[in-house]
Amino acid sequence: MRARVFVLLKPSVFDPQGQTIADALHSMGYETVGDVRQGKYFELELRSSSADQARSLAAEVADKLLANPVIESYRVEVDQ
């Protein structure tokens, strides 16, 4: 079973990399692009017997390692 974990800086935390990418896009002429936030994406292969179990395991490892709760939040998706 595969889980996908998306980690992003919290909205309250300034993202200098995202800002730099947004500035680059604007200088390329993409004036309709607004804010850009850069994050991390993880694919986890899990030996779980149910989607709920996989979701719970992915959230546990995100809490412990993949995301730093001081500055980041995360979202988990599980393939059915």
Please identify, using beta-carbon distances, which residue of 38 and 53 lies nearer to another protein.
38
**Shortest approach of another protein to residue 46 CB, angstroms?**
18
**Shortest approach of another protein to residue 68 CB, angstroms?**
5
User: Can you give the length of the chain in residues?
Assistant: 80
**Shortest approach of another protein to residue 70 CB, angstroms?**
4
- Binding residues (CB under 8 A) for another protein: these are 9, 13-14, 16-17, 20, 65-66, 68, 70-71
| Rounded distance between C-alpha atoms, residue 65 and residue 9, angstroms | 15
Tokens of 55: 């979701």
> Which pairs with CB-CB distance under 8 Å and at least 24 residues apart come from 10-15?
10/71, 10/72, 10/73, 13/71, 13/72
Please identify, using beta-carbon distances, which residue of 26 and 53 lies nearer to another protein.
26
